[in-house]
Amino acid sequence: MVANNTSERWMRRVVDVYRRDLQRCALRLVGDEISARRIVNETFERLWQSGQIDDPQRLRRWLFMVCRNQCTQANRDRPFGRALRNEQPHVAVSEEIQESV
């Protein structure tokens, strides 16, 4: 896309409107904030390179599709092909075990 005032304003508006939702989506899919931010930035970069999409519904679908695809690829590139999260497994512990600890 050739940079001009109109396209730059359009891009700033798109970023303002969609960044937060895209970051939440990416964070949920990849599990870490740094990767999520990188993916969202790459999503906006691809939009800039592809050109302006005037239909808001089409734009939203396109952004989330690109973001989701990048998250999927990022997860494939990680060990074991899945997001690495700092979550504890959900395991039920009996009362007897809890009391003995």
Per-residue pLDDT at 90 exceeds 80 = no
Distance CA 62, CA 53 (A): 9
Is the separation of the CB atoms in 33 and 81 below 8 Å?
Answer: no
Average pLDDT over residues 24-31: 95
pTM: 0.72
Per-residue pLDDT at 14 exceeds 50 = yes
Per-residue pLDDT at 91 exceeds 70 = no
Q: Could you state, in order of their start, the residue ranges of all structural domains in the chain?
A: 5-85
For residues 24-56, b (16+ Cβ closer than 10 Å) or e, as one string? ebbbebbbbeebbeebbeebbeebbeeeebeee
Predicted confidence band at 93 (pLDDT cuts at 50, 70, 90)? very low
pLDDT tens digits, 36-81: 999 999 999 999 999 888 898 999 999 999 999 999 999 988 775 4
Per-residue pLDDT at 22 exceeds 50 = yes
